[in-house]
Structure 1
Amino acid sequence: MTVFLIVILSSFVFSLLLFGIGQKTFQRMTWFAALLPISLFIYFSSFARSIMDGEVFNFFTSWVPSLGINLDFRLDNLALLFTLLITGVGSIVFLYTTQYLKGHPKLMRFYVFLSIFMGAMLGLVTSNNIITLFIFWELTSISSFFLISFNNTESPSRKSAIIALTITGLGGLALLAFAVLAAQITGTLSISEMLQSPEVFANHQYSVILMVFIFLAAFTKSAQFPFHFWLPGAMKAPTPVSTYLHSATMVKAGIYLLLRFTPHFQNNSYFFTTLLIVGAITMLYAAFQTLFKTDLKGILAYSTIGALGIMVFLIGIGTTSSITAAIVFIVVHALYKASLFLVTGTIDHQAGTRDVTQLGGLRKVLMPLAIAGFIAALSSGGFPPTIGFIGKDLIYEATLNGGLNPTLLTTMAVLTNILMVFAGLLVGVKPFSGKKPEALGEIKKPHFLLWFMPMILAALSLLFGLFPAMVEALFTKNITPLLTGEASPHLAIWHGFNLIILLSAITILGGIAIYFFWKPSHKKESGMLKFDAFAPKSLALKFADLFQRISYFLTRTFQNGYLRRYVLIILVLLTLVFGIHVFINPRIFLELKEIKALNWNEIVILAMMLVSIIFTVFTKSRLSAIAGMGVLGYTMCLIFVFYGAPDLAMTQFSIDTLTVILFVLVLYRLPKYLKLSNRTNRLRDGIIATSFGTFLALTIIEIMNENPIKSTTQYYAENAYTLAKGKNVVNVILVDFRGFDTMIEIVVLSIAAIGVFALLKLHLKKHEK
């Protein structure tokens, strides 16, 4: 366990070590950062043989046992798939960045955030404790925020990062709610133990709420409609960030969550129907949007949303073949999308533009990059002999055997894939074909890492297509039975002439036709802007603006900076709460027989209290009012003394003395007499104060008539001496049982005292005042 924990935490430790290296030193050895993901990839690959044979590795370390939160990790086929993608694509991205951002003044900071993000993703996909999964889930959102806003001097980058954090943060809250509720239902925080009792989820009264929570978490993270709009905005980040976050890691976290918990809802048709509908809407909407985009990263962003929609759509079909198709498509998409992103980054790096309408003929200078883009485009469109072809065939096999409405499901899949063929060709082929526009000027050959890294990914797409048994042995052979309980279909590049082959041919020919006959332009793109008012992003921003306006109004109304306003609002609210309680459920009565006759000292104290209150209310001097309040506090001390609570009396005496001294020190420079407010305000304040005091007194009388719960009292009384070696129960509670509370209170008071002392000792010159 120790080794595995070190591996998971190594990315965080590495990010801390980078600060010690220094910016200038790191600039000369950026390759050093790539050793981390490469080492992690080798480490996780060492488990491949054993996991292929059906073995599962569990790693456990106690963390917060009293709450059931442990560092519990589990490495099975599903986790291995994602760890290899995270570290494999991560190695490519780390190496690519050494040249893409070479000489950037904030390069070290970039690697710090990228390392933290990688560690968070590894922790997420290997966590076997639902709370630790949530913690790593939130770390991915936070670290991605810093990566998206890397160019923080640019307003669009900052805005996009805030939107991404807001949407994914909403999903994080939903995941936390799911974790807490699921733990309450199953009685465990262990995900593997939850999986052993899926019927508990299916038959429980809160199963619908659980589905809503997991849907919110997955849909926000994996950019499903209508939460998809954060992902195109996140393209403001540098290309390596877009490559890593939006092809192989962050956006796949929601897909991982759905796959991991699919067995929980295996018998719940609403679960799969919802996924089917949301996935279908997302993939069709996003694929259609690619027709109108002219920025290469914008095209890739919407094609990514479409691909994520396909994955959710396949999980929603809920059959063995559809789950297998989803798993294969995760690999397919990671390889071709990461390759196309890196191709786009190199084009932007060398040509200075990503505008597809201004690009062409780059094959003459960037031939190796053109080859990588061409292969990745083939895989994206499902051309043989790439792994994309096998993935597309599996999609059609799943829709044709979908059960609900095979014709409709297949039609939607074909339309989506046709547009995905178009998008792939537009990014991977269009910039390199035809003649080079004169406006591009001279383009230099890039560093070999800028074309070799996307070439590796493209070559893997081709390799896995030619030898699909590698993908089957590594992933689908054991993952599909893990999720469905049935053996996965055999992967092969050729199954003979059938309907699936016909659909594949229609898809490829349809995509090629659109590519040649539909030319994206800025005019077409701007024509779509008239529909922006109804887009989810616009509606969300309008809601955010309305929320901000309401918040501003409430803040200026209730929190205007005047202490008297704060006190007034608090008292009005408490008066309403107490008053509603008293009137709705009156349970107030007094046993007059139990009320003892007042003796002379109680009468004297009561008289002193009344005089001090009247004096405080009607005096025109601040210092006199403070003195009156001090007298009132001392009379309370006398009550504690007479009723056998000397420790409380001493505490009250100390607090009142200190309060009076501090008030005098602070207020002695202020005017001697305070101009009172008008009669209306005084009448208002008097009514509020009287009402609050009355309802508070009635509530206290009600509490006195309730039977007190003795268990807590008995515990402290029985254990004060045996555990804390103290005879004064109150002191033991403050110092031992609630020692941390007392310590924090002391710290707060100390900070306040230091602040007051600093203000008192502050001597400003005339021009500084």
Structure 2
Amino acid sequence: MAQTEQTGRFLGGPAGWVSVAVPAALFVWFLQFLPQIGAGEVVRLSIDWVPSLGVSIGLLIDGLSLSFALLITGIGALVTLYSTSYLGGHVHYSRFVIFLLAFMTGMLGLVLSDNLLALFVFWEVTTISSYLLIGFDADAAKARRNALQALLVTGTGGLAFLAGIVLIGVAAGTFDLSQIEGTLTEHPLYLPIFLLVVAAAFTKSAQVPLHFWLPNAMAAPTPVSAYLHSATMVKGGVYLLARMNPTLGGTDIWFWTLVIFGGVTAVFASILAIRQTDIKQVLAYTTLMALGTLVMFIGVGTDKAIEAAMTFLLVHSFYKASLFLMIGVVDHGTGTRESTVLRGLWRAMPVTALAAMLAALSMAGVPPLFGFVGKEFLYKASLDAPAWLWVTCAIFAASALMFAAGGIVAWRPFVGELAETPVKPHEGPLPMLVGPLLLAVLGLGAGLFPDYAEWLVRPAAAAVAGAPVEVDLYLFKEVNSAFLLSMVTFATGFVLYLLHPRLRDGLARFKPRFDPGWDRVMDGVAAGAAGLTGVIQTGQLRRYVFITFATLAILVAISVVRGRIDTPLASFEDLRIKHWAVLLFIMAGALLTAFTNSRMTAVAALGTVGIGVALVFIMFGAPDVAITQLLVEVLQVVLVAVVMLKLPHLNPESISRVRPWDLALALSIGALTTLVLLAVMAAPLDLRLTAFFEATSAPIAYGRNIVNVILVDFRALDTFGEIAVVAVAALGAFALLRGTRRPSP
């Protein structure tokens, strides 16, 4: 995204101050829970939201949610500080701040929600706000296209997640995560729940073959990329799997699905990272590697694997945010991100070079950086995993390739002779340097003093495992298998870095078709929608009515058959002559409506049917309803008669021909309605609601006419909505009638 000139306002003006102050204040607020959560406690705060549905806004603060909350707010504060210089002069900077804070709010709600329905709401907030952020440069077709792709992929996963939540509520009897007792692995609904939850997590965290949207999300401004990849949306799926591990984990299908897809994603993405020349794209694919690694080790599920996953979660957040922000500084200071162009920048950009080196060394897993600690524990957990050969080979291949990617991103651009770039290289402003440098230094400090990282890793691992986990982080203790694997990784990674130009050229011939495949799918959806629209939405009202009632008939018939509704035979013993007379009157009106060739006659005959219904109300003691029915029918006949004056005459040929399908549909609707009404009348009448209205209408609503009280008081909003619909329909009809008037010559 092209940079904008700065306006000279401090921190981008009020919008910038707010964008930095809000996450910084939240970060400080969450810090107060660290001693409490570190001691093994869990904090729950709850406010009823929709009591009738059992939905509450409940905050569940344990080790897992606190770790994510601190990353979201801490990195969020640095990213927003960075943005005050990177985008502070942009004409839409205030809008960018709103989108980014909405994104932050969605992620915080996602990781802190105790109620699954509330969690889903925030899940969708992240989907929508990320769409707005990725497509922030709305003038660029690429940004719009990639934003829509991210929205559709993750939104589809969101629908799967909603279905999974409903099944979890049915199986567990609650939507509150803290109230789910035991596991659901033995429940008959476990398999569909598992498939739906995993589908949601895989779309959100971009696992193969649903990974293609994440590199395309690089169309977003660099601060968004740094935030999205390090601490927020893409880790939403990882968070969901970690949160549901105590409930859904421990089964063979959980293990093999997560281990296989996670391992494939880690290795495949690492290979594609070497293929890129844009260093921002290199980092995008290394994010996929990290996500695959986290998914794989959550799937392994042993205490060591969960300890390693939670450690690597922190490792990745530190170095990835630092490197993305560093790339923004390089792009800002040189005008390019091409690794084939950038050389010798350390003289012109020493602070950026220092941050890049530290963060890249952590990504490569070199001691004494925190990345070395994370990689060591990944190796230790992989060697003890049930499928140890697959897991170890996957993490070895990915780690070696990550070493080479670190060299491409942070070594090659800064060493050697200074190369010519579109812009003369210069160091970035202070707000753009604080974030990458601080995060890189944190990676160094956490590596030298890993005991402090245990404050987050231990309670987070316990939350994922569902039981206390022994955590002992250290930089180095002894020469063991994991340490030897690290040494081999360094050697392999160094060779890959030296050979990466040849590897890149060779991999350039390998062109995965995921993205073009997506375009073909979308083209097919558009073509299918156009074809279906051509069949259904023909502009003929009669066809619309036919399809609507045919659908109704099919659904009601299925319900009658599956429900095995017992419909007793109708009894006519209590009918008197007046009842038969009204019935014949209604039938005559209906038949005349069906067979007449005149619109006016059809309208009048239909009005007689309504009058007959009003007579039924009168005979059975509902005069007020009868009056309403009568007024409506008279008004309808009058209004429709006026409208008829504006319509052309019917074609006699189209009227006279027999329409057997219409006849069959009408008879079907009539028969099914009769069956349902007979079944309802045969069932015991539940008078609890009637008794409630009788007992409360006068003392509460001060009304003696129960029907009026129901409409005006107990159903006030419903009645208001009906009135609004009638008013809108009347205005629409008035506008249409006025539109048909022709100016006088």
**TM norm structure 2:** 0.91
1:236 aligns with 2:219: yes
Q: C-alpha displacement at 1:274, in angstroms?
A: 2.3
Q: Is the 8 A contact 1:294 1:525 kept in 2?
A: no
Q: Would you say 1:182 and 2:158 are equivalent positions? A: no
Matches within 5 A, 1:188-587: 188-194=174-180, 197-199=181-183, 201-265=184-248, 267-402=250-385, 404-438=386-420, 440=422, 442-472=424-454, 474-484=455-465, 485-519=467-501, 524=506, 526-529=508-511, 531-532=512-513, 535=514, 537-576=515-554
1:655 aligns with 2:632: yes
Distance 1:276 1:563 in 2: 54
Q: Which amino acid aligns with 1:62?
A: D
In 2, Cα distance between the equivalents of 1:487 and 1:700? 58
Q: Which deviates more from structure 2 when the two are superposed, residues 451-460 or residues 611-620?
A: 611-620
Match of 1:127 among 108, 113, 126: 113
Structure 2 equivalent of residue 45 of structure 1? 31
- Which has the higher mean CA deviation after the structures are superposed, 567-576 or 458-467? 567-576
C-alpha distance in 1, partners of 2:668/2:173? 44
1:198 aligned partner, one-letter code: G
CA distance in 1, matches of 2:358, 2:158: 37
Contact 1:293 1:520 in 2 (8 A): no
**Matching residue of 1:8:** none
Counterpart selection for 1:739 from 710, 716, 724: 716
**Distance (whole Å) between structure 1 residues aligned to residue 504 and residue 536 of structure 2:** 48
Q: Structure 1 649/119 Cα, relative in aligned 2: closer, same or farther at 3 Å?
A: same
Find the aligned partners of 2:519 and 2:433 in 1 and give their Cα distance. Answer: 39
Given the superposition, is the C-alpha separation of residues 750 and 271 from structure 1 closer, same or farther in structure 2, using an over 3 Å criterion?
same
Q: Distance in 2 between matches of 1:119 and 1:466?
A: 33
1:357-400 alpha-carbon deviations (Å, 9 max, x no partner): 22222223222212211111110010111000110000000011
Q: Report if aligned partners of 1:578, 1:699 keep a CA contact under 8 Å in 2.
A: no
Q: Which moved more, 1:608-617 or 1:105-114?
A: 608-617
Matched-pair contact (CA < 8 Å) for 1:612–1:632? yes
Matches of 2:48 and 2:114, distance apart in 1: 13
Residue by residue over 1:250-278, the C-alpha shift from the partner in whole angstroms, topping out at 9 and shown as x without a partner, is 11122222222222245434323322122
Q: CA deviation at 1:348?
A: 1.9
Are the counterparts in 2 of residues 292 and 525 from structure 1 also a CA contact under 8 Å?
yes
Aligned partner of residue 383 in structure 1, secondary structure: coil
Partner letter of residue 598 of structure 1? I
CA distance in 2, matches of 1:192, 1:611: 63
Contact 1:616 1:624 in 2 (8 A): yes
C-alpha distance 586-186 of structure 1, shift in aligned 2 (>3 A) = closer
Is contact 2:335-2:423 (8 Å) kept?
no
Inter-CA distance 724–479: structure 2 relative to 1 (3 Å threshold): same
Q: Distance in 1 between matches of 2:84 and 2:31?
A: 24
CA gap 1:378/1:704 in 2 versus in 1, 3 angstroms: closer
Conserved 8 A contact 2:207-2:288: yes
Q: 1 CA distance for matches of 2:415 and 2:255?
A: 43
In 2: Cα distance, 1:728 partner to 1:49 partner: 62
Quote the Cα distance in structure 2 between the aligned partners of 1:592 and 1:486: 69
Map of 2:22 onto structure 1: 36
- Per-residue deviation, residues 273-313 of structure 1 (Å, max 9, x unmatched): 32212211111111121121222222111110110110111
CA RMSD of aligned residues (A): 3.1
On the 8 A contact 2:369/2:446 being kept in 1, the answer is: yes
In structure 2, C-alpha distance between the alignment counterparts of 1:168 and 1:434, rounded to whole Å:
42
Alpha-carbon distance in 1 for matches of 2:529, 2:33: 53
Specify whether residues 720 and 708 from structure 1 end up closer, same or farther in structure 2 by C-alpha distance, changes over 3 A only.
Answer: farther
Q: Does 1:755 align with 2:705?
A: no
| Change in 2 beyond 3 A, CA 1:181/1:98 | same
Cα distance, 1:540 vs structure 2: 4.3
- CA drift of 1:24 comes to 9.7
Which residue of structure 2 lines up, in the alignment, with residue 674 of structure 1? 650
Aligned to 1:56: 42
Q: Per the alignment, do residues 594 and 583 of structure 1 end up closer, same or farther by CA in structure 2, a change over 3 Å counting?
A: farther
Contact 1:219–1:227 under 8 Å retained in 2: yes
| Counterparts of 1:587 and 1:411, CA distance in 2 | 63
Deviation of 1:173 after TM superposition, in Å, equals: 2.5
Give deviations 1:95-154, integer Å, cap 9, x for gaps: 111111131111110000111111221222222222222222221111111111111122
Which of residues 704, 707, 711 is equivalent to 2:683? 707
Q: For residues 642-673 of structure 1, give each alpha carbon's deviation from its aligned partner in whole angstroms, at most 9, with x where no partner exists.
A: 443322321211221222232233332333x3
Q: Secondary structure at the match of 1:358?
A: coil
In structure 1, how many angstroms separate the alpha carbons of the residues matched to 2:565 and 2:20?
71
1:620 deviates by: 4.5
- State the shift of 1:482 in Å: 4.0
Shift of 1:31: 3.9
Deviations 1:693-749 (A, max 9, x none): 653465357436733443556545654646655555544443444333222111211
Change in 2 beyond 3 A, CA 1:583/1:416: closer
Residue identity matched to 1:323: I
Cross-structure match for 2:67: 81
Residue 109 of structure 1 aligns to a residue in which SS?
Answer: helix
Relative to structure 1, the CA distance from residue 452 to residue 697 in structure 2 (aligned partners, 3 Å threshold; closer, same or farther) is closer
Question: Is contact 1:720–1:726 with CA below 8 Å preserved after alignment?
Answer: no
8 Å contact kept, 1:370–1:432: yes
Q: Which residue of 1 aligns with 2:3?
A: none
Residue matched to 1:628:
605
Secondary structure at 2:46's aligned position in 1?
strand
Cα distance, 1:641–1:157 mapped onto 2, change above 3 Å:
same
One-letter amino acid of the structure 1 residue matched with residue 573 of structure 2: E
Cα distance 1:520–1:64, how it changes in 2: closer, same or farther (>3 A)?
Answer: farther
Percent identity of paired positions between Structure 1 and Structure 2: 37
SS of 1:105's equivalent in the other structure is coil
Question: Do the aligned partners of 1:365 and 1:443 also contact (CA within 8 Å) in 2?
Answer: yes
Is the contact between residue 117 and residue 140 of structure 1 (CA under 8 Å) also seen in structure 2? Answer: yes
Q: Deviations over 1:598-623 (max 9, x none)?
A: 35x844x5565455445544555433
Distance 1:307 1:686 in 2: 60
Q: Which residue pairs with 1:19 in the alignment?
A: none
Question: Over residues 473-522 of structure 1, what are the superposed CA-to-partner deviations in whole Å (9 max), with x where a residue is unaligned?
Answer: x2123333444334434211112222211110111111111111121798
Shift of 1:43: 1.7
Q: Is the 8 A contact 1:286 1:303 kept in 2?
A: yes
Contact conserved, 2:330 with 2:337, CA < 8 A, in 1?
Answer: yes
Task: Determine if the alignment matches structure 1 residue 638 to structure 2 residue 615.
Answer: yes
Question: Judging changes above 3 Å, is the alpha-carbon distance between structure 1 residues 282 and 631 closer, same or farther for their aligned structure 2 residues?
Answer: same
